[in-house]
Amino acid sequence: MASALLFSDLHCSNKQLSNLCELIAQNDKIQALIFAGDAVNMGEPVWFMEAFIKAIDKIGLPFFWVPGNNDFGRAYYKLNAKYKSLEGRVAEFEGRTFTGVGGSPASWAGQYAGENMIDRTKIGDSIFVSHVPPPGILTLQQKDLPSPILKSSKHEAPNSKQILNYNDKNSKHFSGFDIRISDLPKRRFGDAPLVHICGHLHYRWGTAYLGRTKVIQLASLETGHYAIMDLETLAVEFKRFRMNRKFNIEEDV
């Protein structure tokens, strides 16, 4: 199954854009990019957004994104003209549904065409992307926990045997955790996404649950942070580029 590279808050970093391109060139398991916004700073410089677009063109993978609070004006229009954002629409890839909402002040003011709020009935079971995190997240686990849904589309938590087997097969993700049914979220709303990916908080990262929706909080790519998510199991690994070399990857963060 394909994996997606998740990143947010690039903020005009040529170094980290270069690192990102080199990482993808060396990892053939990455089959999609998910970007939670803030490529530039206060809508500028437009030339960096043009460089970002050229990098995405060269990578040549499906690219799902929403604007951040800094992505507006000509910079926004250039990116959205080439790669339409997830705002107000639904996209499909590898059996998953993607949708989202932007974080740009211009979005809030209704100044961009096609940025209508997505119909909530289309959010259910989706991978939902926003720039700003959802309210109510107080604690983040910086090592992933098994999704209460895993591959299921029936909104049912796995039994203890399923959890044990899942941990055995994916020990690099979940080793060291004692997962019990009582630990798993109890509620599941029919119009809730499977996963909510967000950024904006540059120095916070990890996973949490709102009901049975897995929230993936990304730290900034500007400081070297990114994540890789398996599109089948929804397991996520948080990574970071070493800051003292052009390109090297920390195993975990």
Residue 123, both tokens:
């959010």
Angle separating helix axes 46-59 and 14-26, nearest 10 degrees: 0
Q: Bigger pLDDT: 250 or 31? A: 31
pLDDT tens per residue, range 217-229: 999 999 999 999 9
CA nearest neighbour of 231 among 200, 194, 205? 194
Domains of the chain: 3-250 (3.60.21.10)
pTM check: above 0.85: no
Which pLDDT value is given to residue 94?
A: 92
Contact 35, 64 (CB under 8 A): yes
- Residue-level pLDDT at 169: 41
What pLDDT, on the 0 to 100 scale, is given for residue 147? 57
> What's the mean pLDDT in 70-91?
93
Furthest CA-CA distance within the chain: 53
Task: For residue range 189-239, list pLDDT tens digits in order.
Answer: 668 899 999 999 999 999 999 888 999 999 999 999 999 999 999 999 999
pLDDT bin (cut points 50, 70, 90) of residue 158 is very low
pLDDT of 159 reads: 40
Q: Who contacts 43 (Cβ-Cβ below 8 Å, separation ≥6)? A: 70, 71, 72, 73, 74, 75, 76
87: Cβ contacts below 8 Å, ≥ 6 apart: 66, 67, 100, 101, 102, 107, 112, 114, 115, 116, 118
